[in-house]
């Protein structure tokens, strides 16, 4: 999947339809709303969970294009970073990154 190409496609579609391409606050809120819709669809066992997740991804692609961020590259970097992270339980039994345990008794 060529995410950079998808970002451009999403952005061009927004422009073509006259959707917002300047107000990042609004885009983040709308992306949050789409993720909430996906959660509700999953919770209520609706058939459109995949479509709602796709809507969320489309908003993230659009935001990334607006910010000139290569989302595919960032995802690959983050996956690599997460592979090397060490997680341990804190003093309350919650898994946290090892470096967040500093100062706990």
Architecture in CATH of 3-101: Orthogonal Bundle (1.10)
- Per-residue model confidence as pLDDT tens digits over 75-100: 999 999 999 999 999 989 999 998 88
Give the C-alpha separation, 60 to 65, whole Å.
9
Q: Are 89 and 95 in contact (CB under 8 A)?
A: yes
Mean pLDDT of the chain: 95
Calculate what percentage of the chain has a pLDDT beyond 90.
89
Predicted TM-score (pTM) of this structure = 0.87
| Integer Cα distance of 71 and 26 in angstroms | 19
Q: What angle do CA 52, 67, 13 make, to 5 degrees?
A: 50
């Amino acid at each position: 999947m060529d995410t950079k190409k998808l970002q451009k496609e999403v952005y061009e579609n927004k422009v073509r339809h006259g959707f917002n391409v300047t107000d990042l606050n609004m885009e983040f809120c709308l992306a949050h709303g789409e993720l909430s819709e996906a959660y509700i669809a999953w919770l209520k066992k609706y058939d459109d969970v995949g479509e709602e997740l796709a809507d969320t991804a489309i908003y993230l692609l659009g935001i990334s294009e607006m910010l000139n961020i290569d989302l595919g590259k960032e995802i690959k970097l983050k996956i690599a970073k997460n592979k090397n992270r060490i997680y341990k339980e804190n003093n309350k039994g919650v898994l946290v990154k090892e470096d967040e345990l500093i100062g706990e008794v």
